[in-house]
Amino acid sequence: MAESSKLYWQTNKIIDISPVISAKTAVFPGDTPFEADFLLKINKGHNIDLSTIKTTVHIGAHTDAPSHYHASGVTMDQRKLHYYLGPAQVIEVNVKKGARIYPKDLTQDVKAPRILFKTNSFPDPNNWSSDFNSLSRELIEELAHKKVILVGIDTPSVDPETDKVLESHTAIFKNDMAILEGIVLNQVTSGFYDLVCLPLKIEGADASPVRAILLKHE
């Protein structure tokens, strides 16, 4: 491996933007919380630790499959991976609690194919709050016009909790974009990075948890 490649993957260049997943992790009202069951434990005399989990696939940092929000959408195992790997831009916005983000709210020009919104409106992944920020249909259309292929946000959803129409999800489907929700950006400054957030290849799944990371640009 070239020396430059080794340096690129050094730990101090990796920013983990995934919350810890545990039984404390807040999930969408009515969804399945995380539960782990250890079948074997070394500290109980077994030769290995062995566990099983039960949870919503929309736990923590996760990506929605198009099948989650459209009858014609593909499932997670059918999703192409280029959406989830490559140049990204973090944009911090400041709008009132519970509000959607509109093009006028952007604080900088969009210059990357993957845009992550830092709203600071869902500060604790372990405590559910309904007044988180979300995205607007107008913003999605503007981003699509600028060739954005993935939108991410530091909240549980790109639409408000009570939105049954799912206007942003629908606009995302129309423009063949990907979604990344539930990321943690409180320690991330606005700017340019490389994003890695590969979903699990779960047959028929409408979403997948991801270990989302940002790689610092020099």
Q: What are the C-alpha distances in Å from 136 to residues 22, 105, 182?
A: 31, 11, 17
Structure tokens at 86: 């490559």
Q: How many CB atoms lie within 10 A of CB 169?
A: 23
CB atoms closer than 10 angstroms to residue 105: 17
The question of whether 70 is a catalytic residue gets the answer: no
Cα–Cα distance measured from residue 169 to residue 158, given in angstroms and rounded to the nearest whole number? 7
- Considering only CA atoms, which of 175, 165, 29, 32 is closest in space to residue 100? 165
Tell me which residue of 69, 77, 57 sits closest to 173, measured CA to CA.
69
CATH number, position 138 = 3.50.30.50
The model's pLDDT over 96-128, given as tens digits with 9 standing for 90+, comes to: 999 999 999 998 999 999 999 999 999 999 999
Choose, from 46, 68, 82, 217, the residue flagged as catalytic: 68
* pLDDT one-digit tens code per residue, 20-47: 999 999 999 999 999 999 999 999 999 9
Give the pLDDT confidence of 123-180 residue by residue, as tens digits: 999 999 999 999 999 999 999 999 999 999 999 999 999 999 999 999 999 999 999 9
**Residue written as token pair 């292929």:** 149
- Is-above-0.75 flag for pTM? yes
Residue type at position 161: E
Instruction: Quickly list DSSP for 9-38.
Output: T-GGGEEE--PPPSTT----TTSPPPEEEE
Structure confidence at residue 207 as a pLDDT band (50, 70, 90): very high
Q: Report residue 95 CA to chain centroid gap.
A: 20
The CA distance from 31 to 93, in Å, is 28
Domain extent for 147: 3-216
pLDDT (0 to 100) of residue 5: 53
Q: How many CB atoms within 10 Å of residue 61?
A: 23
Number of domains present in the structure of the chain: 1
Q: What does the pLDDT average to over 76-93?
A: 98
